[in-house]
Amino acid sequence: MATLLQQIVNGLIFGGLIAMVALGYTMVYGIIQLINFAHGEIFMTGAFGGLAVYTWLLPAEAQKIWYVALPAMMVGGAIVSLVVALLMERLAYRPLRNAPRLAPLITALGVSVFLQELTRIVYPGANSAVPFPNVFSAAPVHIGSITIPSSGLLMLVVSVVLSVVLQTYVNRSRMGRAMRATAQDPDTSRLMGINPDRVIVLTFGIGAVLAGIGGVLYGTYINNVDPYIGFQNGLFAFAAAVLGGIGSIRGAVIGAFVIGLIKNIADIYLPGGTAYDYVWIFILLIAVLVFRPQGLFGEVERVRA
């Protein structure tokens, strides 16, 4: 029982991480129907950006004070992710806005490989895993027999808070309304005076900031990063977005927690253990795509070319 509870806690923490990445997938897909394969790499550049801030910008005394170091790293990671994502949108995706649907998908793959390799080559020592400082090293929380690592708890809290803020922003603010309108009908919303380019840039930007913060928190939780973390976690996040119904913010967050729980429970209770947890998630992903492509919270599938 204690093991199960512990795995559930671990699953929720992992789900919190995945949620921060999944939000970017789901928002971009909602607006321009693009599976932004490179979004996982945005998360990864965020982690490296945070690490770079810690390594080269923070003075030694500030590195030890978590309430200075951590926000600085989160801001740094978010800025790096934001810049990379906006460049990507401007240079790679925008020219293909009206191209056949295969084209931007292949471009996204290319951007993904490019960013992985660029990070590996440019960042010193990134040929193998780079150690990430455990900035937030408060004592772990014990509840009964369960141990909750403090950095994990932080990740969960930040993720939930950011999701709620985002949901409120999209539902209440003027720009949020513009986003929803563009997602529903880009042509009509353009007639209503909404600039779709601005909305798209904003969407990419919000997704990137969330992913960048997620990357930094992932680093402090796992304590090492490599250029390929984006690919795997990106896949999980994408699975979460699809599971929850791509295009839906609430769906992405709930999907992420479901994925997190399945992964951690499969580690212990499903045949094959940790070696096969990925396999179970991908099987679930395929099953969802085949049997309920609109996901748990998505709209009923529309015919797409």
Partner 1 sequence: MKTAMARPLSAIGSVVLIIGALLPWATFVLNDGPYPDKATLEFFDAPFGLSSFRLYLEILGLAGIVFTFVPVRDKIRVLKSIGWGAAGISVVNLLFIAGDGGGLGAITAADGVPAFGSIVAVVGSAVLLFGAYQLPPEPLTVIDSKLPWWAEWLILLAAFVALLFLITETLTAGGHSGVSDPYIGPLFLSYLSAVGALLGVLHAFGVTEWISDMSERHRVFSIVVLVLCAVAVPFTSVGNDYWMTITANIGVYAATAIGLNIVVGLAGLLDLGYVAFMGIGAFVAANLSGAVAAEFHIQLPFIVAAIASGIVAGVFGAVVGSPTLRVRGDYLAIVTLAFGEIFVRVSQNNIGGLTGGSNAIPNIPDLSLFGAQFNDAPTIGGLQLPGGVLYYFLIVLLVALVMFVFGNLKNSRIGRAWIAIREDEDVARAMGVKTGKLKILAFMTGATLAGLAGAVFAHKLATASYDSFQFNQSVTLLAAVILGGMGTIPGAVLGAALLFVLPEELRQFKDYRLLFFGLALVVIMRFRPQGLIADRHRRAELADEDTTGESLDDTAIKEPVAVAAKEAGA
Distance from C-alpha of 286 to C-alpha of 51, rounded to nearest angstrom: 35
Q: How far is the CB of 43 from partner 1 (least distance, A)?
A: 17
Considering the complex, state which of residue 169 and residue 231 has its C-beta at the smaller distance from partner 1: 231
Q: How far is the CB of 161 from partner 1 (least distance, A)?
A: 29
Buried b / exposed e along 68-91 (16+ C-beta atoms within 10 A): ebbebbbbbbbbbbbebbeebbee
Cα-to-chain-centroid distance, residue 219: 13
Least Å distance, CB 181 to partner 1, is 13
Provide, rounded to whole angstroms, the least separation between the CB of residue 221 and partner 1: 23
Residue appearing with tokens 């402090």: 220
Of 159 and 189, nearer to partner 1 (C-beta) is 189
CB of 81 to partner 1, least distance (A): 18
Report how far residue 78's alpha carbon sits from residue 14's, in angstroms, rounded to the nearest whole number. 20
For CA atoms 186, 250, 85, 202, the dihedral sign is positive
From CA 99, how far away is CA 111, in angstroms rounded? Answer: 17
Nearer to partner 1, 131 or 272 (CB): 272
CA distance 96 to 99: 5
- Cα dist from 233 to 40, 66, 67, 237, whole Å: 7, 26, 27, 6
- What is the closest distance, in whole angstroms, from the C-beta atom of residue 51 to partner 1 in the complex? 21
CA distance 177 to 239: 26
Q: Are 158 and 146 in contact (CB under 8 A)?
A: no
Residue 164 or 286: the one with the smaller Cβ distance to partner 1 is 286
Classify residue 94 as left (phi > 0), alpha (psi -120 to 50) or beta.
Answer: alpha
Q: Which residues of the shown chain bind partner 1 in the complex (CB under 8 A)?
A: 33, 35, 92, 95-96, 98-107, 109-118, 121, 185-187, 231, 235, 238-239, 242, 272, 275-276, 278-279, 282-283, 285-286, 289-291, 293, 302-305
Q: Whose CA is closest to 249, among 169, 174, 305?
A: 169
